[in-house]
Structure 1
């Protein structure tokens, strides 16, 4: 071991000496210039702060130093454990009051807090619940007890179930766990991405029975906009599959009805909060480019564009869908694409897909650009949208 270490040192030292001899001592002035140039390229880097802004900046810097010096360093914790501590921090409370601009990628099934769904929606009349064989839940609003189905053999009226249990707080906490990923032991319960994704899908499926009830959906959209507005978010792009909604009597509404409802609720919200810029929908439906083209044409102010849906790492590349994705250009139709790479790992297919897409008649927009996206790609094809 000692000999190996000595050999390594003997190998490295001459190399370091050669670097120093060839490059010379780094110039501190050049280093400072480089750092100033880098800072000037940051958002707001060329702005001159007012006296009040300088005071705020100094306070923010002081808060950051205090948190970094604390014994419990929050970035070192799992997010599930750090989240409640973050929400109590001085920095969080300060940032919460500041304008955020836009939220460009929110799933329609997670627009509001799980607490609101449980504390508000599940207490409404005619709400039934079913506990499935795979340790999940389903919800359904109905005037009569719903018929059994393959994943739900026994439906119970939530109002009656709560009365029998007698512990609303404990029961509500268990429902929130079904609608979120949070757990006290994330490392043990989520050993890999497959397990996380399975729970992720279960949570969305469970929430769907509540959200797609037409009266709930109206309140749900408005509540979501209110929660964003409280955080000073002034614009929303909602990623939605436009699931069919249902009434208490069993009536089913189509995608057009849902878009009209979204348009109506957003308009009402803007009347109540004139400073809010607005909200649009990014349609995310499997194999539905043709339908999305028509919806974009019929609702140009509501539909922002189209995105693919599904787990990224286990799915197919965009190149596999080149014929369908080229359809709008071939038809002379407008359908912006909002592809994202939020869950994509370091796969060799990522760079391959980006290069392939430069050959397609598309204008791509990424809410989170992959690391490999750089100057070698045509800026007329790729537009980064960072959150």
Structure 2
């Protein structure tokens, strides 16, 4: 009898032991899974952000709105993931989420270029009001290209130029044609030519307009007004310095553009006293070292005269065709000499890694140099040691998602390298680069793209916004004031957004 009982115990007990072992294995698996998840979350760029109760409520609503938007596009068989920004722009503007992001304080815009600041439609409308504004309507030659605009005195108009207003009146179709020549679009993601050549032509077509002092003033007033309207409180412009001129006094000293911008700032601050700007002196990668040295010294001269305006130095242009940052090493060695000579430092804010190629190693240079922020940094993910160094040195990557797609570096926004950088703890900010050239204004579109395609939440949005002030080139006191203002604006935004979305859900319960 005892032997039979033992057999029963053995037969019935083994399954129980096996079941218990399996449960323990599942528990270990879940514990390890949770531990890995927490470790990954702790590495993310926004790990230090903790949301208030009000922010948590808004976060839940924003995530719900995003899911509703995606569900709606799927129901209507609208593909979000293989279309260009220009194609989805109407969808963006019609979404409820865009209204919320439009109202969100953006902090600072740290990466934008002087020739891409302002809306093209406004630019054409304003330029045609000047009787001295002309447009070149002949085939490209060695000096001018079709659609290039400039100001001339009546007796000095070059051959091939016609008065802009008269041209638009005599040929109504020319307005749309000129607009297409000024905006760089990416109509289909599968058609790709040399976008950089077309890109640079956009700047050439308006470049001569910006040196004309009366137009310069109107252009930057409009640009600053657009930023303020989009809840941007600080802007840092990659600025190409040219001598301003008019037909009464001729050419003005190089510093006139700075004093004019300071006057424009005074006008803006009458209604928006918190608004600030800085200029990053920009030269070009395609120049030789001697030319860059001359530009660098000129930047030092202006920084000594305007220490609160000039914040640093950059080199711009297509990284695939221009010189590498390394090729200018003798210029970087001159920094200490110029610092001693002019009694001021010149931080670098270099473009680097605006490329899909592993052979472009400009990011190695910026991790070694006194480079405060990295413009674009798309190929950083190919250089893990550089990523670790950037994290250790607490440097920021200036990310411009729409620009990166239009110039062909990213097709599907979901695959933007910034997603990898953010998850690995690299600090970033959201920027527009050249919104005027891409056919939009402000910063809201880029934030919308990031939120939708990168699957961000309010915690990530908040970190990106506050990064833009924390890593700005504002001085210590300016930064303290800017952070205080931004913090209050953020609190007000969260409160107002919660109230408006609650009222909307009560009015339309089926939408919640």
- Normalising by the smaller structure, the TM-score range is 0.7 to 0.9
Provide the C-alpha distance between the structure 2 equivalents of 1:356 and 1:229, rounded to a whole number of angstroms: 35
Aligned to 1:17: none
> Which residue pairs with 2:66 in the alignment?
64
Among candidates 136, 139, 155, match of residue 149 of structure 2:
139
Match of 2:374 in 1: 366
| Shift of residue 249, structure 1, vs aligned partner | 4.1
What are the superposed Cα offsets for residues 325-381 of structure 1, whole Å, 9 maximum, x if unpaired? 12122343400100123622223241xx44456665x34421334222322568449
| Aligned length in residues | 348
Which residue of structure 2 aligns with residue 280 of structure 1?
Answer: 278
CA contact (8 A) 1:363 1:381 kept: no
**The one of 181, 184, 189 aligned to 1:181:** 184
Classify the secondary structure of the residue corresponding to 1:105.
Answer: strand
| Structure 2 Cα separation of the partners of residues 376 and 218 of structure 1 | 41
**Match for residue 346 of structure 2 among 325, 329, 335:** 335
Indicate whether 1:312 and 2:290 are aligned.
Answer: no
Equivalent-residue separation in structure 2 for 1:80 and 1:357 (angstroms): 32
- Would the aligned equivalents of 2:118 and 2:219 in 1 still touch at CA under 8 Å? yes
Shift in CA distance, 354/98, structure 1 to aligned 2, threshold 3 Å: closer
Q: Equivalent residues in 2 for 1:108-119 (5 A)? A: 108-119=114-125
Aligned pair in 2 of structure 1 residues 341, 93: CA closer, same or farther (>3 Å)? Answer: farther
Distance 1:375 1:342, change over 3 A: closer
Distance 1:76 1:357, change over 3 A: closer
Q: 1:321 aligns with which of 325, 328, 334?
A: 328
Please list every run of at least 4 consecutive aligned residues from structure 1 whose deviation after the TM superposition is greater than 6 angstroms.
none
Q: Conserved in 1, the CA contact under 8 Å of 2:120 and 2:182?
A: yes
Say what the alpha-carbon RMSD is for the aligned residues: 2.6
Corresponding position of 1:264:
263
Instruction: State the alpha-carbon separation in 1 of the partners of residues 368 and 57 from structure 2.
Output: 50
1:105 aligns with 2:111: yes
Separation in 2 of the partners of 1:209 and 1:354? 33
Unaligned runs of 5+ in 1: 1-23
User: Structure 1 pair 66/76, CA: closer, same or farther in 2 (3 Å)?
Assistant: farther
Flag the structure with higher helix content.
2
Whose relative contact order is higher, 1 or 2, with alpha carbons under 8 Å and at least 6 apart?
Answer: 2
TM-score (norm 1): 0.81
Distance in 1 between the 2:216 and 2:176 partners? 22
Question: How far did 1:319 drift?
Answer: 1.3
Residue 375 of structure 1 aligns with which residue? 388
Q: Which residue of 2 aligns with 1:218?
A: 217
Which structure has the larger Rg?
2
Match of 2:102 in 1: 96
Alignment match, 1:14: none
Q: Does 1:172 align with 2:175?
A: yes
Cα pair 1:119 1:172 within 8 Å, conserved: no
**1:27 alignment partner, SS class:** helix
Partner Cα separation in structure 2 for residue 233 and residue 217 of structure 1 = 21
SS at match of 1:102: strand
1:257 Cα deviation from its structure 2 partner: 1.0
- Take 1:378 and 1:186, find their aligned partners in 2: how far apart are those partners? 33
